């Protein structure tokens, strides 16, 4: 496949995984937790590197899951002891991120790991870091990892669809029906962490947040069905990835930045033009009723 | 007859204030009990503590002579309407189906027979025409009927309802009370947090008068007296003087 093809595939895989996960994130009113985890996974990655001294996919995934769960547990722990939810998120994620930054600066040295890379990602280099897959041939490592994560995300959503639906909509009823609300929450947060770390190497922390929140927020404006919202959100993620790449090529600018910009563009179009909840539709509807 | 619910020396706090103190009562099967008391008396907290949605400080609750965990499938709960996000992307039929999620089990999707059950429950509440309607586009009364339909599909032996008649229209109030009466006739037990003292005598055969602890509990006729109302509400209920004069 061509250089452009690999970049589009990588970014589309990010768009799909993040789009699916993002729907559940915003319906659970946890958009800011995505921001938090996208930063604290840095600590998980650095710690995994310090323990194993190698930057391999599986170590990073495990480190990220631990960091993501630690963030979730700490935020909840402070909140239960009287700290406001948002304040708790702010305190925990900046502190853990800072520890990660300090560790990179003092312990890691020249490894392929730095703060700028973490925040912005380097999707341009992805097509060159290839690995051999039987029957398929040379495939970029990021594509392999992102495909595996997308598969896990899709299986998990299909397997726990009704559990996550009910624990998002009515946790009290879910608990009274015997559904393990807390366990389902941590399984979900693990999934957020895995998705984030896989996407993060390719596109950086900022774009992970854009891809997690914005396509889902746009999809929310188009439909009243959860299943359709999931499909639309994934689709918007992929469109943003492709559109963003061509904007970047046209303006000769940052690829991940342009993709994040494209998610914003899709959101604005939805916000104005969606037939269900768009501004224009809301403005037209009362006039149609009165005429 | 063995009580369906036994509460012993139950205490609980909410944001560091003790709201329930040494609450104690038994509920007999086939009864319909209203829980009444002033604001802050701990009515909703009592339901949440009984259903282990809120931690207790001390005390003991048993269902059908067994534990809560072993009785979950026999218990139905209707939370306050305001406790969920009605903008959630789902329709009325889906919300009713959620009442069956516990029975459907892990890794399985609702079957056609489950959907038929849910639709039948919606019809029973006069809501069949609204099955596909997004839940934010229902009126408050219709939303409450959807919640009731969801409780019906659970087919429980013991139901807890938290203010099901708050802010609903007259037709919904009638539909809900008719449904609860049918449940009672089938031998089911119903407990309702209720705020309208004027209808207690018409609607419920038992009353639990609560103000952080049980002030009075028993058959409505003998228990819902002027003295007990004053003891429960204290001086906060001047207008009741006119009614009970």
CB contact under 8 A, B90 and A170: no
Domains of chain A by residue range: 3-204
Hey, which residues 172-211 in chain A have their CB within 8 Å of chain B?
172-179
Mean pLDDT of chain A: 88
Give me A64's structure tokens: 């990220």
Which residues in chain A have their CB less than 8 angstroms from residue B84's CB?
Answer: 169-170
DSSP-assigned states of every residue in chain B? ---SEEEEEEEEEETTEEEEEEEEEEE-TT-EEEEE--TTSSHHHHHHHHTTSS--SEEEEEETTB-HHHHGGGEEEE--GGGS-TTSS-BHHHHHHHTTHHHH-TT----HHHHHHHHHHHHHTT-GGGTTSBGGGS-HHHHHHHHHHHHHHHT-SEEEEESTTTT--HHHHHHHHHHHHHHHHTT-EEEEE---GGGHHHH-SEEEEEESEEEEEEEHHHHS-HHHHHHHHGGG-TTHHHHH-
Q: Specify the higher pLDDT residue, A213 or A109.
A: A213
CB contact under 8 A, B98 and A225: no
Q: Distance between CA A110 and CA A127 in Å, rounded?
A: 22
Model pLDDT for residues A177-209, shown as the tens digit of each residue? 989 999 999 999 989 988 988 887 777 877 889
Q: Distance between CA A37 and CA A72 in Å, rounded?
A: 8
Q: Is B67 part of the contact surface with chain A (CB cutoff 8 Å)?
A: no
Mean pLDDT of chain B: 92
Q: How many domains does chain B contain in total?
A: 1
pLDDT reported for residue A119: 65
Size of interface A-B (CB pairs under 8 A): 77
Model confidence at A89, pLDDT cuts 50, 70, 90, reads: very high
- Checking if the pLDDT of A75 tops 70, the result is yes
Q: What is the CATH number of the domain that holds B30?
A: 3.40.50.300
Which residues in chain A have their CB less than 8 angstroms from residue B88's CB?
Answer: 27, 168-169, 226
Q: Distance between CA A260 and CA A249 in Å, rounded?
A: 14
- Checking if the pLDDT of A71 tops 60, the result is yes
Which residues in chain A have their CB less than 8 angstroms from residue B48's CB?
Answer: 172
Q: Distance between CA B155 and CA B171 in Å, rounded?
A: 24
pLDDT reported for residue B245: 40
Q: Is A84 part of the contact surface with chain B (CB cutoff 8 Å)?
A: no
Q: Distance between CA A30 and CA A272 in Å, rounded?
A: 24
- For residue B104, the distance in angstroms to the closest alpha carbon of chain A comes to 10
Mean pLDDT of A50-70: 84
CB B59, CB B10: distance < 8 Å: yes
CB-nearest to A226 from B85, B90, B107 is: B90
Q: Distance between CA B71 and CA B64 in Å, rounded?
A: 8
Residue of chain B minimizing CA distance to A223: B89
ipTM of the complex: 0.88
**Tell me: domain A3-204, CATH 3.30.465.10, correct?**
no
- Checking if the pLDDT of A286 tops 80, the result is no
* % chain B with pLDDT above 90: 87
Which residues in chain B have their CB less than 8 angstroms from residue A166's CB?
Answer: 98, 101
Domain that residue B186 falls in = 5-243
């Amino acid at each position: 496949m061509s250089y452009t093809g690999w970049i589009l595939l990588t970014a589309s895989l990010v768009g799909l995984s993040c789009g699916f996960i993002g729907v559940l994130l915003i319906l659970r009113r946890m958009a800011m937790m995505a921001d938090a985890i996208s930063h604290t996974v840095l600590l998980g990655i650095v710690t995994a590197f310090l323990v194993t001294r190698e930057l391999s996919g599986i170590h990073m995934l495990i480190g990220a899951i631990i960091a993501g769960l630690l963030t979730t547990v700490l935020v909840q722990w402070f909140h239960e002891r009287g700290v406001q939810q948002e304040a708790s998120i702010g305190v925990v994620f900046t502190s853990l991120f800072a520890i990660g930054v300090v560790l990179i600066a003092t312990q890691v040295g020249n490894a392929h790991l730095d703060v700028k890379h973490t925040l912005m990602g380097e999707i341009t280099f992805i097509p060159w870091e290839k690995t051999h897959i039987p029957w398929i041939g040379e495939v970029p490592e990021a594509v392999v990892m992102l495909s595996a994560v997308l598969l896990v995300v899709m299986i998990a959503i299909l397997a726990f669809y009704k559990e996550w639906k009910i624990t998002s909509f009515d946790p009290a009823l879910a608990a009274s029906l015997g559904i393990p609300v807390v366990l389902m929450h941590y399984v979900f947060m693990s999934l957020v962490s895995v998705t984030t770390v896989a996407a993060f190497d390719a596109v950086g922390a900022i774009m992970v947040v854009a891809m997690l929140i914005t396509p889902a927020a746009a999809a929310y404006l188009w439909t009243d069905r959860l299943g359709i919202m999931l499909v639309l959100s994934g689709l918007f993620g992929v469109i943003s990835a492709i559109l963003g790449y061509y904007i970047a090529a046209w303006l000769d600018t940052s690829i991940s930045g342009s993709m994040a910009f494209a998610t914003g563009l899709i959101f604005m179009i939805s916000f104005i033009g969606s037939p269900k909840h768009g501004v224009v539709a809301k403005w037209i509807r009362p006039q149609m009723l009165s005429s | 007859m063995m009580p369906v619910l036994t509460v012993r020396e139950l205490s609980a706090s909410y944001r560091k204030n003790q709201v329930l103190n040494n609450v104690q009562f038994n509920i007999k099967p086939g009864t319909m009990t209203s829980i009444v008391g002033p604001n802050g008396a701990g009515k909703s907290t009592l339901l949440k503590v009984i259903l282990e949605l809120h931690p207790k400080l001390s005390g003991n609750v048993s269902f059908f002579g067994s534990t809560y965990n072993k009785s979950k499938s026999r218990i139905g709960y209707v939370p306050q309407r305001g406790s969920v996000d009605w903008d959630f992307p789902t329709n009325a039929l889906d919300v009713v189906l959620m009442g069956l999620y516990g029975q459907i089990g892990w890794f399985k999707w609702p079957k056609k027979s489950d959907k038929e059950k849910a639709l039948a429950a919606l019809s029973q509440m006069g809501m069949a025409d609204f099955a596909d309607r997004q839940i934010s586009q229902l009126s408050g009364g219709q939303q409450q009927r959807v919640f009731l339909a969801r409780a019906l599909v659970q087919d429980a032996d013991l139901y807890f309802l938290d203010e099901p008649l708050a802010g609903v229209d007259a037709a919904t109030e009638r539909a809900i009370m008719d449904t609860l009466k049918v449940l009672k006739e089938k031998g089911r037990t119903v407990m309702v947090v209720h705020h309208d003292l004027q209808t207690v005598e018409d609607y419920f055969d038992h009353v639990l008068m609560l103000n952080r602890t049980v002030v009075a509990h028993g058959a409505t006729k003998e228990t819902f007296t002027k003295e007990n109302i004053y003891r429960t509400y204290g001086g906060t209920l001047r207008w009741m003087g006119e009614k009970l004069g």
